[in-house]
Amino acid sequence: MAEPARRIETEAGRPPLQPVTAEAPQQEPQHGAHAERHAPPIRKPRNLRGPLLIAGPLVMLAGALWLYLAGGRFATTDAAYVKADIVYVANDISGIVTEVDVKEGQAVRKGDLLFRLDDEPFRIARDGAEAQLGIVANQLKAAKASYAQARAQVDQAKADLDFYAKTKARQGDLLARNVTTQAAADQAQRDFLGAKSRLVAAQRQVDSLLAQLSGKPDQPIEHFAQYQQAKAALDKADRDLRHTRVIAPAEGVVTNVSQVQPGNYLAAAQSALNIVSRDKVWVDANLKETDLAHVKVGDPATISVDAYGGREWKARVASIAPATGSEFSVLPAQNTSGNWVKVVQRMTVRLAVEPAPNAPLLRAGMSVLASIDTGVRRSLATLPRDLAHMVGL
């Protein structure tokens, strides 16, 4: 009974046999010439390595040639932004703000009132300057009158000197003939010397008054330097009084109004608020220096503004910057010392935007995609030259 037990264990360790169906009976393999006659032919896979090695470079060459012929005409950059005239409104007098007549984002025209300063100190200064002008005018009138009086005294002194000279001569003649006394002759001499001294004093007075009148005593008082100085002080006082009313120097939109509030003290030349122009706008496109070869003033351009879903405006090249931005930096790059790394510079190209009907407002700082049509068309004739330029020949 031991052998059947081992047989069962052996069969239990094997996997079960799959049943054979009647529909698909197993066929025994055929051998010999009969099997070779009925076997299907074996197809070898086609080798595509050769055609691909030839077609791949041709396709790449054709694509590169197409890119070359289609490119080079447009200079495009997304480093472009809308710019506008921005006026920093500042006054040249100091004062306290008493009234603000605009609000944030308000559109103003040239000459509109923006805010007021306290005008009382300036009215007082103006009244003082006006009074000083009157004082100077009176002084000049008095000097002219004194000059006329001094001239009359000079004439009188000359007449007296002539009289006393004759008296002196007469007394001297009489004394020589012992007709008069020595005392009378001495008195005549004294009177002559006194008349001479009075003439000299009168002449000095005339010279002094003539100097005060600038050597032109007959001209109107408005032409004298003293009067003009006092008149200039009055004009400045009037100007300062007018400047207490700060008006818009240009047309645009007011911003940063919160910096100006009633009661704030504004120093002279301190920026109070800003006016951003709505009409004088342009685009500064910062092109790589390698894209500027064919860009020139007057070239047509197209700008696409990101804020308006890519809406396009027509423009033209107005100017090209004479230097890169790094040349105007506080610390320009010192490429002649130390380790030098070449960096492609950018040049600012200003585009004048043409007005478009019913177009939305272009605001300063908006991002723009700019494309400039240089009008240059490449051809196979220019290919050798450009290849030589690329390799540095």
Better-predicted residue by pLDDT, 358 or 300: 300
For residue 207, pLDDT over 70 is answered with yes
Residue 213's H or E segment, with its range, is none
The most confident of the ranges 119-123, 291-295, 360-364 is: 119-123
The values of phi and psi at residue 313, to 5°, are -125, 150
* Rounded Cα distance, 105 and 110, in Å: 16
Tell me if the domain spanning 87-118+245-266 has CATH number 2.40.50.100.
yes
Radius of gyration of the chain (CA): 54
For residue 67, pLDDT over 80 is answered with no
For residue 27, pLDDT over 70 is answered with no
183 and 159 Cβ atoms separated by less than 8 Å: no
DSSP secondary structure code for residue 256 in this structure:
-
pLDDT at 227: 92
The arrangement of secondary structure in 121-239, i.e. its CATH architecture, is: Up-down Bundle (1.20)
The values of phi and psi at residue 202, to 5°, are -65, -35
Among 101-115, 152-166, 263-277, 286-300, name the one with the lowest average pLDDT: 152-166
302 and 314 Cβ atoms separated by less than 8 Å: yes
Better-predicted residue by pLDDT, 74 or 3: 74
**DSSP sequence for 28-42:** PPP-SHHHHHHSPPP
Compute CA distances 11 → 1, 5, 20, 287, whole Å. Answer: 16, 10, 19, 86
pLDDT at 21: 45
Q: What is the pLDDT of residues 80-110, one digit of tens each?
A: 999 999 999 998 899 999 999 999 999 999 9
Residue spans per domain, the chain: 67-85+278-327+343-391, 87-118+245-266, 121-239
* Rounded Cα distance, 189 and 181, in Å: 13
Q: What is the pLDDT of residues 305-314, one digit of tens each?
A: 999 988 899 9
Q: Which residue has the tokens 């703000």?
A: 97
Q: What is the pLDDT of residues 235-271, one digit of tens each?
A: 999 999 999 999 999 999 999 999 899 999 999 989 8
The percentage of residues in the chain with a pLDDT greater than 70, rounded to a whole number, is: 79
How many C-beta atoms lie closer than 10 Å to residue 80's C-beta? 25
Overall average pLDDT of the 20-37 stretch: 49
Better-predicted residue by pLDDT, 167 or 385: 167
CATH, range 67-85+278-327+343-391: 2.40.30.170
Q: How is the chain split among helix, strand and coil, in percent rounded to 5?
A: 45, 20, 35
For residue 189, pLDDT over 70 is answered with yes
* Rounded Cα distance, 94 and 264, in Å: 11
Better-predicted residue by pLDDT, 130 or 174: 130
**Chain centroid offset of residue 225 CA:** 40
pLDDT at 378: 65
Compute CA distances 373 → 66, 131, 139, 291, 304, whole Å. Answer: 19, 68, 74, 12, 14
